[in-house]
Each structure stands twice: as structure tokens, then as C-alpha cells.
Structure 1
Amino acid sequence: MKTFNNLFFVVAMFLVTSVAFSQGTITGTVVDESGPLPGASVVVKGTTNGTSTDFDGKFTLDVNSASGTLEVSYVGFDTKSVTFNVSGGTQNLGTIKLVSNNSLDEVVIVGSGIIDLAEDRKTPIAVSTIKKREIQERAVGNVELPEIIKYTPSVFVSRQTGFGDGRLLVRGFDDTNTAVLLNGQPINAQEDGRVFWSNWAGMADIANAVQVQRGLGASKLAISSVGGTVNIVMKAAEKKQGGSVRFLTGNDSYFKGTAEYNTGINDKGWAFSVLIDHWQAHRRWAEGTFGQGQNYFFSVGYKPNERHNFNFLITGAPQFHGQKWSQSVDRTLNDPKFNQHWGYTSNLQGNNYTSDIDSERRNFYHKPVMNLNWDWTISEKSDLSTVLYASWGRGGGTGPRGDGRLRDPNGQIDYFAIEQSNQAIGVATGGDDGPGYIRRASMNNHAWYGIVSNFNHEVNENFAFNVGTDLRYYVGDHFRQVANLYGLTAWEEDGVSYTTEYNPDPWAALFNFADEGDRLDYDYSETITYQGLFAQGEYSTDRFSAFFQGAVSNQTYQREGRFQGDLGKSDNLSKVGYNLKAGLGYEFTEDHKVYLNTGYYSRQPYLDNVFTNIRRSNALVQPEVENEEITGIEAGYQFEVEGVFRAIFNFYHTDWDNRVLLSGGTITNTDGSETNINVFERGVRQVHRGVELELDARPTDWLDLRGFVSAGSWQYKGSSNVQIYNDDTNVLISSTEGVDRDGVKVTTAPQFTAGATAKARIITGLSADINFKHFGNHYSNDRDFDGTPQTRNFPTLDSFELVDLGVTYDFNIGENKLTFRANVFNAFDKRGIQDTDQFGSFPITGRTFNTSLRYHF
């Protein structure tokens, strides 16, 4: 009996305690403009008591107080506070709708002090942000990552026609002068600043967000952000368990399959994430632009306590694709899909021939990237973020060698006829001008190591500063090797007999490439080191903000030649650069903001501009190439009615002086022979100024509207000096001073763009979107190349408009979700010329499409 009484007492006390500490239950549903938000966080303000929504956006939460406030949050949305009162025991809060914002605060899981986001600075900048859902809707499959940002002011994406061959330009500056950062890691090529998007084909699958900062931006590094900065924020080891499987198809037999899984963080602080996919297509749109590739991603996170957070990841996107180089204007207009670089290969199997597509212009590359992030919360006011990274690139691009190319009646390469001709020749002698035909591969193998570290300290509620370092070490090996002999017994050149073929495949190129004695035409290495320091301070009150930022860096260059005479190593050239930026911001009210930013860069030249001939000479350009000088000023005004309307106006003026333009080509001599040349144009000055207007509106709960206009005036100023070198002998052919280019228009991109986007929620789970953009004032550069710079304006290209359409449908399968997405790009199949350079023109890529089905679990 005594035992029973004790048990009764315990149960009674438990019930009393439960009543005392559990006042009631709250239920509700969290949604956005498209429907339910699974995984949204619901927490009682000021406590750790919380829960997450299920796949239908629903939640149930027991609370310990009769009334209070819930904080409802989700990545990419404004946090919403909702009051509750459960004096009756339960309360259903109904539907809680979150409003999307332009912030990335909650997207960054690791590297918060390294990734230079606009949110990290209170003084405004010109910025556009694309979040994960939009990336996964639009930048999928046969669409490159840069295309998701084409519907922003002053951004032009020249789609080209091959997988990953597109160009990104911001305010008229190409990717060599627009900094691209991957989780705070610079990825612009060290030699020339280029970004090869084919190397990053998998970013759309593992990106949490992409932020485009036009102009001076918020970056603290001394980097090439003349036009702007593109921040790609990769996913890390996810905190929540789950995964997905997606299948995607598109035009021209495109197929892609993707699978990912996240373990979520366990009670010991460990989390793992993995993603793999495969894609292939017999062409992108133009003929001969076949492609195939994979993407892999593995990440492991470890959070031993609240002060330390570690994340290690490795990712890569091995791929190969056929390329379509520029054609003449007439050929482009007559048949924009035509490509002179491909043909059918014939292989005898028994008594039958089988044919496959191949191209003499094939790009193949594999670039594994690793990085280790460490976030250390030192105190409530101080933190340190560090990323240690490494990448190893292997691969290159193929091209023809020899005078034995044969074509079929349709103008395509006749590989079968070439094989028959080569078999009759046996051993081809005479080098590049001799009989026979082979495919060579120009290899670009590199190793790149670096560390970026940033210490941040809040002195008080008004002032904070950070200091950091950026260290890099890069070695690039460049040479050519035989890819295909096409039936020849051997290829003889420069006294060497070449008999080994190296497969132009991204996986094979990791370990199987030519040794020094089996390399042809050229063989050299480049070593670049970089040491940078940066610091920034910002003062802010409720209405006013001001910042000052500075960086200084030292960059060294050294070249080692190993072909035709063994040139050895060059002297180690060192260049010091720096930048200074400052800005002011003021809020008249919460709805009205203005800002003014200015900056000056003294930027070191790229290595390719330092040597007279990077393939065959250690000689420096004389006189020595000096730093480029960039001065920028920006001003803006922002007006916003929260959740309803926003208007942003920006003005910019960028003066870029003392730059070097490097080009090359072939000139015809008086005797009819041809000479390959390198052209150095020095002391070039160009001024880019313009205005940008962005409008966002949500007139109803089911419709989002957006519009933008950007108008620029980009032109050269003054005169420059031109030096022309023989590419084969490195002999100076001519030197001309004072070449007048004053008033000549910059031809890189359309100087006027305007567009509009609309997204409508039709029914629960179903939405449709339409995107429109107009391109105008694009000056042509289609001319006969004779080694001299463009000294007059050529006619503008015809203006054109592009329209993209999309539809998304989310529906539940039990506790899981299925998402259907369909896209049509260039829906009205606009044809014409989108871009030109000194060698020809690029067509507007015609209508393409894709559809995908993703299963979330």
C-alpha cells in the first residue's frame, strides 16, 4: 500500500508539473508566395523551445507560457514575429506567410567572415541576389550558372553555343575584370583573369545563392573587381537530414540525373553531405556542340561546441564538349547552327562502319577543388574566419595540326577520308605546314593553393573593424601533346617523332599526359605568388553609416621555358598593388536611403601581359608593363515600402587607365605569305559611366513583378601605343605611338538593356513566370584583323529581345514532395547576332528547353 501511495504521489506531481510548465499547444501553417514552406523554424522568442514545419508547412508546438511571441524564419525570407495566447489550452495561428528578402545572412553556414556579402556592410552598394530555389529552377541542365543573373541591370551574358563557353560581362567589363569568388576563394585564372564556366558546370547544383555586386562592391580583397564581384555561396554539410533525386531532359537529347543526401547534424556535432550527377547531350543547340560530364560534391562538417565550426568539402565537374568558334557575319545569318569544326568518325567493326560525332575543337577539363573552413567565435565581440583551399586543374582544348584536313560536301570534317589519306602517308614530316593531319591538345595543368583569413571585432555598438590576409601560390604547366594521329604511323616535328596518343578526356587527363620529351610546339611553366593584406572599418548609427577599406598586395611572376633551346627560368618580377575604398550611407526614414561610394585601384598586370611571348620567350615587354589605374565613383537612392514596392537607382563612373590589351592573329605579307602575330596595346584608357533603375512590386499576394533599365556610355579616351611581335620568332615587327582612339565605343556588350519579369501563383503549388529582356546599342567589332587597334566606330548590331518562360508545380507524395519544373529559353526563337569580336560573330542561341522532376525526401 505504501508503494502504491508513493507511485500515486509521483504521478500527481508529474501532472501538476505538466500543467504548470505546459500551458498549451500552438498550431499553424507557414507558407511563401508559392505554397507551404517545409523546414521553416518556429521558436518561442527568448527561449530555445522550438520546432520545424513538416512537408506541408504545418507545425505543432507545446509552450510553457500562456502568451508570448513566436519567431518564424526560413532561409532567404524575412523573420516574422507572431503573438500567441493559449489561455484556452490551444491556439491555431492559421496561415503565416513569409516575405522573401534580398538578404543572404541565413544562407551562409560556414565562412561568414570570409564571404564578402553585401549584408556584412551597412553602407549600401548596387547588388542583386539570386537564391537557391531560383537557381534550381532556372540554372539547370543545359543552362550555365551566369544565365541566372542576366535579368539584372548592366549584366550581359553572351551564351555562345557550346556547353560552358559563355561570357559574363558587368557594366561592360568581361570576366577578366569581374571578380568571381567561390565561398570567398578567388577563381579567376591567375594568368589572365578569365573564368571558364565549363569548369564550374556543377555549381548550380551545390550553390545556396549567387550575389552580384556591381561596381566597387563589398569585397575586402585586392581583386579584379573593376566591373563587379560575383559571390557564389556553396552549400556546406547541411544541418537537416534529407535528400533528393532529380531527372532532367532537354532539347537535342540532353539528359541529366542528380542524387544528393544530407545526414543532418548528429548529437556529437558531425554532419555529412554528398551529391553526384551525370549529364550528356549530342549537342547544345548548334551542330557539333556535343557534351558529357559529371559533378561530385562531398562535405563534412564538425561543430564541437558553440565557439568552433569546421567544414571540409571537395567538389569537381569533369566534362568535355565540342566547341563552335566564331563564324563570319554572312555565314552566321545564313545558317546560325553551322559549325565547321566537327564531323563523323568511322570505326570498322567486322564488315560494318559505325559513326560517332567528334570535333577538332574539343574542350576537356577536370578541376577538383578542396577547401577547409574554420569559424571561431572568440567572444561576443570578436570572431575569426579562415579558409584553406587547393585546386588541381588538368585538361585543355584540342585543335588541328598539319595541312591535311579534308571535308565532305556539307563542309564538315571527313574523318574517314583523313584516316585513309594518313594511312597512305605513314610517317608525316614537315611539321604544322607539312602533309597529314592530326589533332593536338593544348594542355593547361595547374596547382593552386591559398588561404584567406579575416578577424572581425565590434568595438562598440557603432564601430566595427576587420583585418585579414590573402595568400596564394600558383604553378601552371602549358604544353601541347598529340591527341589523335588518325591512322598515321608517326608525326615528326622539330626532329622528334611522336607516336603516342593522349586521350582528350577529363578523367584520363588527371594522370595521363605527355612527359617533357613527348611534348610538341611549346612547353613552359608559370609561377605566380600573391601576398595580400586588407582592413576595413565601419561606423554606423540608426541613420548614418560610413566605411573605409584598404588593401595592399605583392604579386610575383616567373616563367620557365622548356622547349626549343631550354630557356630556363626568367627573373622573378615583383609588382605591388593596392586599393582604397570609402563610402557613406544615410537613411532619411526606413523607406528612404542614399549612398555614395568611391574607390581607387592600382592593379598589377596579368602575367600574359608581362612577357612578349608567353609560349616561347622569357623576355619582358619593354618598357616594363606598369600597374593599371582604376577610379570609381557610385551613388544611389533606395525607396521601399516593405513587402509591397521597392525602387533602386544607381549612378556609376569608372575610369580605367593604363590598361594593356593583348590580342593575336594572322596578317598577310606583301608576298602572300602569312605571319602569326602578338599585339600589345599599352596605355589604353576607357571610361564607363551609366545609370541603373530597378523596380520590384507585389501588387497582390499571388503576383510578383520586377523591372529594370540600364543605360551606359562606354568609350575609349585619348591615345595608346601599339607593339606587334612575330609570334614564331618573337621579333618586334612594328611599334607605333600615339594611336588615337578617343571617342571609340567599347564593343564588349550592349550599352542599353531593359527588362521585366513576372511570377504568378496560380493555385496552391503551381506558379508560372515570364522573363523579358531587350538589348540595344551594341557596337560591332567584326572587322578584318591587321594587327592595329580599332580606331573608329563600326555600325551597331541590330537590337533584339529575348523571352524565357517557366512553370513550377509542387505536390506532396505522403510526407515527401515532388517538384516539376519546365523552362523554355528564347521562347520565340529569335535569330540574329548577339556578339562579335575581331575574328567573327556569335549567333543568338535559338529556342532551347528543359523539364525536370525532383523527388524530395
Structure 2
Amino acid sequence: MKINYLGKSRLSVVIVLSAASVAFAQKNRDSINSKDIEQVVLTGVADIAKDRKTPVAVSTIKETVIVEKLGNQEFPEVLNTTPSVYATKAGGGFGDSRINVRGFDQRNTAVMINGVPVNDMENGAVYWSNWAGLSDVTSAMQVQRGLGSSKLAIASVGGTINVLTRSADKKREGNVMFGLGNSGYNKLLFSYNTGKGNTGWSSSFLMSRTAGSMYADGTEFEGYNYYWALGYQKGKHDFQFTITGAPQWHNQRSFSPTINEYLKYGTDGEPNRKYNLNWGTLRGEEYSFTRNYYHKPVMSLNWDYKISDATKLSTVVYASFGRGGGTGTLGRVNNKTENGFRKADGSIDFDAIYAANAAIATPNSNSANSVFVRRSSINSHNWIGAISSLNHKLNDNLNFTVGVDGRYYKGIHYRVMSDFLGAKYIIDNTDINNPNRKITDAYDASPNWNPFGGKTDEVKIAYNNDGIVNWLGGFGQLEYSNGDLSAFAQGSISNQGFQRVDYFLYAPANQKTEMVNKLGYNVKAGLNYNLNANHNVFFNTGYYERQPFFGAVFLDNTNRVNPNLENEKVFSAELGYGFRSSVFNANVNLYNTSWGDIFKRVSYRPTGSTVTYYANVLGVKEIHRGVEVDFNVKPTDWITVNGMFSAGDWYYDKDVKATFINDETNTVVAEGNLLIKDLKVGDAAQLTWALGADVRATENLKFDATYRYADNLYSGFDPASNLNKNTPAVKLPSFGLLDLGLTLSTKTNVGKSLSFRLNVNNVLDETYISDMRTNIAADANAANNWNGINKNNQVYFGFGRTWNASIAYKF
């Protein structure tokens, strides 16, 4: 049937019962509400949505669910059974996963830890390998879809993921866990909480190691996670210091093979889903051209000061000093790159590359006498910030909050040599101030354990620049609550200053730009009304003017400032309904989000010309609208059924004009149009549903099963490629996945327990495409297609059947 809402009918909805293992915050049995969260985690400046009060669409995942069902999956995947969420392993390397919320990628979804934003301040990215250990220390994870309840001016176009970590004053308890899984996966964890002593001091400690390989070939990894918290509470003051980090390295599958390549190295006409273009062996050991290594510790000091019964001050000061990067290829040898050194199984013969490099006596930059080596792109940073908010209760019904948010970020970007692979040296000519340098130094692609950063004075090649972002914001919120009615109005304003320093492309006098300042703001409001003890309705709306990312300020990786810099405009509105009872609970949400003035940089080269011209395209606009349903049924104490369904309609709203300028003469050289009107937004399934059940067979034995389905998934190609052509997005085949789990637990003594957990994911070994970056239409000759998809498309297949098991002892 068709449904109409918010002024336009574009969405066909099929009524389907669907589910999640744990999908939303509620007050009833086997659930978690805001009060529960506050009892087990450090909240500080975190804005936690409250059930039947905060007017936002929210899902909350408990610590027990994360511990049980995550296993050896990627951290964002635990959210895959919540409405409008699509998370994949992408290339499949350790921590290389990605997540979309309501069709917005993670650059436009705010990720926060205890209320502190962690999205990269230059490009909004979130690299989950930097946070791979978060699952070990998470007490709860709350996903607020849409604008959310955070008071900060953050990138919450699609939603906000707030990870709430264990606090120092959790109850006294220790835990030892050992886990195993497919492909040599193994994990060892130890944690201990002292509990709060009579003097007000408390502490919490965790250390873990995870290693092995992922499902794909050539994806060995090793990662550690440490967490330490120290708390002190006395009188009106509560202090909590935490530091957590996850130094890791992992071999990647960074480049998606074509379907033809998966089939070439498969058997019996089936694709080899494990195939990886980037790896091989060197001296009998696994070796990869694409290896990521990073250590991004975060330390914070929270201070909660209860000034009076009506007034509270919450402040957090935090810092992060990230060091590391990712490797790739540089040059060629005997006019060949890795494809010239493929073995019969498709892996790379690194021993042959080593021998070919070693035979070059005097490497130089020309193709007849060059070498093929591994370089590393460094993306380090220094980041400090502070958030402080003052909450005052004006009367029994009104609360007012005002606060400030300040941040300083310096991104440190350059390349170094990682491995000469038998070559004696390379010649680098990219630094105009020091041309024709002979490079003989190489650096190990392993993480630096120093939590306060480390040296960045390596010998640099290719590029060397810094990106500086200053942020100063203020926010205020007025909340009203009177029995069954609650409402809020909130506003924030922020100034971002952008500065770029380039040490290679410019002489010293011109290396640093002026600070480019851009003002942004948001306003939002919402209302919730509890009709009675069972029913509630809510509405929220908001408008953002969000500053563009760093890459839109300085064009083409140079110091040239974009003359057409515009804020992105975001408008969102949402209507929700909730039902609560002792047996059945459900939520229904309708949403509409308009995202305009998205920056696109489009290139054009006239026929027969060697000059490329660019257009800064303004006015690109996306519409994201949809419906979400989630429910929870518990007819008896021994069975719980959970469900979710979401259907979205995400598309580009209009065609956009592109004007190409000759930068030297400032004249128009060409005009064109991005023909993207009604083009589907890709990279995330627009229809998802799931159905899950937890069955407690005995007091000590529990089974669970979850089936989830994804459809209306389109390729994630860049719409800027639709210059003067109208190419629709390729729709990928739908898929459904079944996961099973078993928990066996026993109490060995008072306060002590032993538990065993087994997970099997993709039990039916479904073969499916999870990600596709190209957009080649199906061929008229069916033999050139696989399941209706052109075999020349570059894709990632989802993992086949995987398993993991763990045993834990709590004392």
C-alpha cells in the first residue's frame, strides 16, 4: 500500500513482522532505561534519551547483549538489528567495518563516547579499528536516530551513536574470558573493578588481546585493548578519570575485486568470497601491500559538581594523540605492478618482487629503471577539548541548561617508506624545497604504544601537510516536564576555523594559510505526550546549518581556498508512537530529512586537451524519509520475541548545474549538469527487517536466533559521475542471514559464575554482495552477469558461515 506523510507520497510499505535481538529502550522486563544506564556508566555530559519522555527515536543495547552476540563480529554490527541501520564489514579487515543510519554514512552520523564526539574533525570519518576494544568496556550503547538529544552542534544528520563505558565505581567484580573462532581468531581478556570504597575512591581496569585472521584471505591482525578508570566521590563532587586505547595492526582487503576475479579464483562456478587482491607471501610468511596500524588513546577527566539541589555543573576535559597510518604501493619494477606478479591462486609473489627490486642497481624515477615498494600514508593527530554544561532547575517543571564546547585538532599528514622490498633506495622529487632526495630510511608498520603520541620527524615523501581545525561552540536548552507532557527547545552555535600548512608544495613564506572561519548553528525542539500508561506520542523537528568538511575548504589538497564555500543545510522532522505493557512493547516512527548544499567537486577535460578543469557544484540535495517499527513480546518468563522493520526512500532531489572555471583567467570554459534527480542514494539497504527470539530452556541454558533481511540496496557510486548523463544506480540482490547462539552458565559460588557462549553467524552460508562501489549496468548478454549484476563491477561479498566460542569466569 502507499502511505502519505510530510507532504509527499513516494514510499511503498509492506506490513511485515520483523525484529532485533535487542532493539529499543523501555521500562519493562529484559530491557534497559535511562535510569539503568546512569547506574552503571559514567554519564557526565552525555545526553541520554529517556523512555516516554525524550521525543526521539532511540534504541539501546545492553552490555550483556554486546558480550553475548558480538563475538568475533565488528562492533557496529551489533546494531544491524535496529531499524534503519545498515552495517557491513566492507573489505573485511579487522576494524574496517562501516555503518549507515537512515541512509547517512558514518561521516554524517555522530559517534560519541560518554557524550564526547570522536568523529574525525577534518572529514567526519570514524575508523572502527581505532575503537576495536570498545566492545570490551561498553556498559550500554544508545542509538538516537535523527537529530537526537545531544545539545552539541555535532554531525548528527542520520543519528547519534553514544557508547557508554563502564565507570570506576561499578560493583566489585573480576572477569577472565577466553575466546576462539574461525580463521585462527583468539581473544584473552581480564578485568577487575574494585567497587567504591568507604573513602570514596574506586577503580576499574581491563586488558585484552585479540589476534588471528578474519574471514578473507590475507587479513592477519593483532590488537590490544586497555582501559583504566579512577574515581573519587566526596560530598558534592564526583571525579572520574578514564584512559582507553586499542593499539592494533591488521592486513587489509582495501581494493574490492571485480566479480570476474572472485569467479576466476573460485571453484565450480562459485565466487571465492575470501579472495583478496592485496596479499601474498614473503619468505613463507603472510605479507600485504595494505596494512593498517594505529593507536588512538583517549583520556578524559569528568567532574560533576552538585552546587545545590537545583544546580549541577558537569565538565569533561579530554585529549587524544593518535599515531599511525596505512600502507600501499609506490612505483613499478620492470614496468610491472602487483598484477604482473600474480601466482596461479591470485596471490602476489612478493619474493619475485623482492628479487626484481634487488636487481636494480641505481633506482630513479623513470619507468625503465624504477622500483616497486611499499609506502605508508600517515594520518596522525593531536586533539584536545573540553565540554562544560550548567543545569539549573528553575521550578518543578522547568530545567535550563547552558554550556560551552571547545576543541583543537591538528591532523598530521605525510608519507614515509615502509618497506623497500629489496630495493636499495628511492628518489623523491615531491618536496620543492628539497628536490632529488635519495630516500634510504624505512619505518615499521606497527603501532606506537605511547599514549601521549610520539615523534613525527620521520623522513617524508610524496606529501607533507597539516590540517588545523579550531572549534568553539555554545549551547542552551530549556526542558519542560509536567506529568504526562514533556518538551524541549534547544539551540547551539559554533565557529570552526580551518587552516592548512603545506611543507612540500610551497616555499616557507607561503606554507601556512590564513585561518578560514565559518559559523554554523542548529535549532531543534520536540514534545512527548503520554496518553496513558500504555500509549505515548512524540514529535521533533530541527534545522542545522553545518560547516563543510576540511576537504571542501581547501581544494585539491592544496592551500587554495574554495571561493564558493557554503554551509550544508539540514531540516528534519519526525513523528513517533510508543506502546508499553507488561507483555508487549512497540515503537513506530515516521521521519523526513532534507540535506542540501552538499559539496561536490567535478572534473572535466575537453576533447583533445591536456588541461583538466573543475567545478565546485553547489545545491546537491538529498531527501531521506521512511517508516520504522520495532517491538518486543515476552508472553512468558522463558521466551522473548523481538522485531523490527524499516522502509526508507532516499534519493537525490534535483539536477544540479556545474560551471567549469579556468582558475588562471577566471573565465567559464564549460557548463554541464549533474543529472541526478530521483537517483537513489546508495550504500545502504533501504528496506530491512529482522525477527529474533531468545528462549531460556532451563535456568542455565539459553538459545537465541535472529534472521535479518536487506533489500533495496543500491551501489554506492559517486553521483558526481553523472555529469551530462542520466545513469541510474544499480540495485543489488536482496539477502537474508540467520544467526544462532547458545549460552550455558552456572553459578559456582556466591558472586561467582562460569559461562560458555557459542555464536554461529550466517548459518545458511548465504552468498551475497554487501558493498558495491562501481555502477556498471547489467549486460544484455546474461552470461556477463552474476545474479543480474555485471561481472565487471567491483564488490565486496559478505562473509560466509563463521563461528566463535568463549568461556568466561566472573569472581
Q: TM-score range by the shorter chain?
A: 0.7 to 0.9
For the residue of structure 2 that corresponds to 1:205, the secondary structure is helix
Which residue pairs with 2:778 in the alignment? none
Q: Distance in 2 between matches of 1:457 and 1:238?
A: 26
Tell me by how many angstroms 1:741 deviates. 1.4
Q: Which moved more, 1:585-594 or 1:194-203?
A: 585-594
Q: Distance in 2 between matches of 1:726 and 1:837?
A: 30
CA contact (8 A) 2:41 2:164 kept: no
Which residue pairs with 1:499 in the alignment? 440
Give the letter aligned to residue 372 of structure 1.
L
Which residue pairs with 1:649 in the alignment? 588
Deviations 1:598-632 (Å, cap 9, x if unpaired)? 10000000111111122xx1001232x10000000
Q: Distance in 2 between matches of 1:702 and 1:765?
A: 11
Q: Distance in 1 between matches of 2:771 and 2:389?
A: 40
Give the letter aligned to residue 231 of structure 2.
G
Q: Distance in 2 between matches of 1:357 and 1:531?
A: 47
Deviations 1:752-803 (Å, cap 9, x if unpaired)? 1111111011101211111111100112246999684984323310000011
Q: What is the TM-score of this pair, normalised by structure 2?
A: 0.87
The reply to whether residue 852 of structure 1 matches residue 781 of structure 2 is no
Match of 1:137 among 68, 71, 90: 68
**512 and 232 in structure 1: CA distance in 2 versus 1, 3 angstrom threshold:** closer
The reply to whether residue 515 of structure 1 matches residue 457 of structure 2 is yes
Question: Tell me, which stretches of 5 or more residues in structure 2 are unaligned?
Answer: 1-24, 264-270, 430-435, 775-792
Give the letter aligned to residue 263 of structure 1.
T
Q: What is the TM-score of this pair, normalised by structure 1?
A: 0.83
The reply to whether residue 639 of structure 1 matches residue 639 of structure 2 is no
Tell me by how many angstroms 1:122 deviates. 2.3
1:256-655 paired onto structure 2 within 5 Å: 256-281=187-212, 283-305=213-235, 307-324=236-253, 325-332=255-262, 334-346=271-283, 355-404=284-333, 405=337, 406-430=341-365, 435-494=370-429, 495-507=436-448, 515=457, 518-566=459-507, 567-614=510-557, 617-623=558-564, 625-641=565-581, 643-655=582-594
Q: Distance in 2 between matches of 1:509 and 1:386?
A: 26
**221 and 514 in structure 1: CA distance in 2 versus 1, 3 angstrom threshold:** closer
1:660-739 paired onto structure 2 within 5 Å: 660-661=599-600, 681-722=617-658, 736-739=671-674
1:4-83 paired onto structure 2 within 5 Å: none
Task: Report sequence identity in percent.
Answer: 40
CA contact (8 A) 2:43 2:115 kept: no
Which residue pairs with 2:748 in the alignment? 813
Q: Distance in 2 between matches of 1:678 and 1:640?
A: 55
CA contact (8 A) 2:583 2:633 kept: yes
**183 and 220 in structure 1: CA distance in 2 versus 1, 3 angstrom threshold:** same
For the residue of structure 2 that corresponds to 1:137, the secondary structure is helix
Tell me by how many angstroms 1:290 deviates. 1.2
**735 and 432 in structure 1: CA distance in 2 versus 1, 3 angstrom threshold:** farther
Which residue pairs with 1:349 in the alignment? none
Which residue pairs with 2:731 in the alignment? 796
Q: Distance in 2 between matches of 1:668 and 1:417?
A: 39
Give the letter aligned to residue 173 of structure 2.
G
Q: Distance in 2 between matches of 1:687 and 1:323?
A: 34
Q: Distance in 2 between matches of 1:796 and 1:415?
A: 38
Deviations 1:176-219 (Å, cap 9, x if unpaired)? 11000001110000111010000000000001100000001111
Q: Distance in 2 between matches of 1:672 and 1:278?
A: 55
Tell me by how many angstroms 1:234 deviates. 0.9
For the residue of structure 2 that corresponds to 1:238, the secondary structure is coil
Give the letter aligned to residue 401 of structure 1.
L
CA contact (8 A) 2:625 2:650 kept: yes
Root-mean-square deviation (CA, aligned residues, Å) is: 2.8
For the residue of structure 1 that corresponds to 2:77, the secondary structure is helix
Which residue pairs with 1:63 in the alignment? none
Tell me by how many angstroms 1:240 deviates. 2.2
Deviations 1:476-528 (Å, cap 9, x if unpaired)? 11000000001111111210111011001012798776636x21110000110
Which residue pairs with 1:834 in the alignment? 770
CA contact (8 A) 1:603 1:629 kept: yes
Q: Which moved more, 1:655-664 or 1:258-267?
A: 655-664
Q: Distance in 2 between matches of 1:192 and 1:433?
A: 38
Q: How many residues align?
A: 744
Tell me by how many angstroms 1:738 deviates. 3.7
Give the letter aligned to residue 629 of structure 1.
K
Tell me by how many angstroms 1:831 deviates. 0.8
For the residue of structure 2 that corresponds to 1:303, the secondary structure is strand
CA contact (8 A) 1:679 1:787 kept: no
Deviations 1:398-427 (Å, cap 9, x if unpaired)? 000011233323322211111111111033
Q: Distance in 2 between matches of 1:311 and 1:474?
A: 24
Tell me by how many angstroms 1:435 deviates. 2.1
Give the letter aligned to residue 256 of structure 2.
S
**502 and 668 in structure 1: CA distance in 2 versus 1, 3 angstrom threshold:** farther
Q: Distance in 1 between matches of 2:367 and 2:330?
A: 5
**303 and 239 in structure 1: CA distance in 2 versus 1, 3 angstrom threshold:** same
Q: Distance in 1 between matches of 2:60 and 2:391?
A: 24
Give the letter aligned to residue 575 of structure 1.
K
Question: Tell me, which stretches of 5 or more residues in structure 1 are unaligned?
Answer: 1-75, 80-97, 347-354
For the residue of structure 2 that corresponds to 1:540, the secondary structure is strand
Q: Which moved more, 1:392-401 or 1:783-792?
A: 783-792
Q: Which has the larger radius of gyration?
A: 1
Tell me by how many angstroms 1:103 deviates. 3.4
**99 and 256 in structure 1: CA distance in 2 versus 1, 3 angstrom threshold:** closer
Q: Distance in 2 between matches of 1:561 and 1:397?
A: 20
Which residue pairs with 1:190 in the alignment? 121
By relative contact order (CA 8 Å, sep 6+), the higher-ranking structure is 2
For the residue of structure 2 that corresponds to 1:243, the secondary structure is strand
Give the letter aligned to residue 294 of structure 1.
Y
Give the letter aligned to residue 376 of structure 1.
Y
Tell me by how many angstroms 1:739 deviates. 2.3
